[in-house]
Amino acid sequence: KAEFYVRQEARIEMEKAENPDAEVKIRPYNGSATYIDKIWTSLYTVFTGFVLATLVAVPLGLLCGMSPVINTAINPLIQIFKPVSPLAWLPIITLVVSAAYVTNDDSWFEKSFITSAVTVTLCSLWPTLINTAVGVSSIDKDLVNVGKVLRLNWSTQITKIIIPSAMPYIFTGMRLSLGVGWMVLIAAEMLAQNPGLGKFVWDEFQNGSSNSLGRIMVAVLTIGIIGFILDRIMQTLQKIFSFGREL
Examine the pLDDT at 210 and tell me if it is beyond 90.
Answer: no
Report pLDDT for 29: 54
**Window from 11-15, 70-74, 156-160, 224-228 with minimum mean pLDDT:** 11-15
pLDDT of residue 106: 66
In tens, the pLDDT along 48-59 reads 999 999 999 999
The confidence score (pLDDT) of residue 25 equals 65
Check whether 199 has a pLDDT greater than 70: yes
Cα–Cα distance for residue pair 216/13, rounded to 1 Å: 41
Run of H or E including 245 = none
Residue 192 vs residues 24, 31, 98, 118, 187: alpha-carbon distances, Å: 36, 20, 11, 11, 9
Give the CA distances from residue 111 to residues 98, 99, 101, 199, in Å, rounded to whole numbers and listed in that order.
7, 10, 7, 14
pLDDT at 174 over 80: yes
Confidence check: pLDDT of 32 > 80: no
Kindly tell me if the per-residue pLDDT of 1 is higher than 60: no
pLDDT tens sequence across 216-234: 999 999 999 999 999 999 9
Is residue 105 predicted with pLDDT exceeding 70?
no
Query: DSSP character for 25?
Result: P
| pLDDT tier, 157 (very low <50, low <70, confident <90, very high otherwise) | confident
pLDDT at residue 47, rounded to an integer: 96
pLDDT at residue 31 tops 60: no
Is the pLDDT at 35 greater than 80? The verdict is yes
Least confident of 61-65, 146-150, 201-205, 228-232: 146-150
Share of the chain above pLDDT 70, in %: 85
Q: Phi/psi at 209 (nearest 5 deg)?
A: -80, 175
